[in-house]
Amino acid sequence: MIRELHQKGWTKTAIAEETGFDRKTVSKYINNDQIPRSFKRKDIESKLESFKPYVLQRIQEGTTNCICLKKFRPWASR
């Protein structure tokens, strides 16, 4: 689509406005023979992942009130 618009005489800025891509991205698509590869982000573990077993245990015990969960946190340091 980007190359087609460019062949019709559209400027890179006009193509960027029409497609919603950045002008530099439009240039990449026009100047490369192949479509640029997209990169997959690394899977990053959540900062809360280490607390998951504790929260699940509390829920299984019947504690679903977040205030109670906060009140009895064994790792809380003030």
pLDDT band at 61 (very low <50, low <70, confident <90, very high): confident
pLDDT band at 5 (very low <50, low <70, confident <90, very high): very high
Q: Which two tokens stand for residue 13?
A: 């800025």
pLDDT band at 13 (very low <50, low <70, confident <90, very high): very high
Residues 27 and 53 placed together within one structural domain of the fold: no
pTM above 0.95, yes or no: no
Number of separate domains in the chain = 2
Average pLDDT, the chain: 81
Range of the domain at 11: 2-31
The answer to the question of residue 73 being in a domain is yes
The answer to the question of residue 16 being in a domain is yes
The answer to the question of residue 23 being in a domain is yes
The answer to the question of residue 40 being in a domain is no
Cα separation, 18 vs 14, whole angstroms: 6
Cα separation, 32 vs 2, whole angstroms: 12
The answer to the question of residue 24 being in a domain is yes
Residues 53 and 78 placed together within one structural domain of the fold: yes
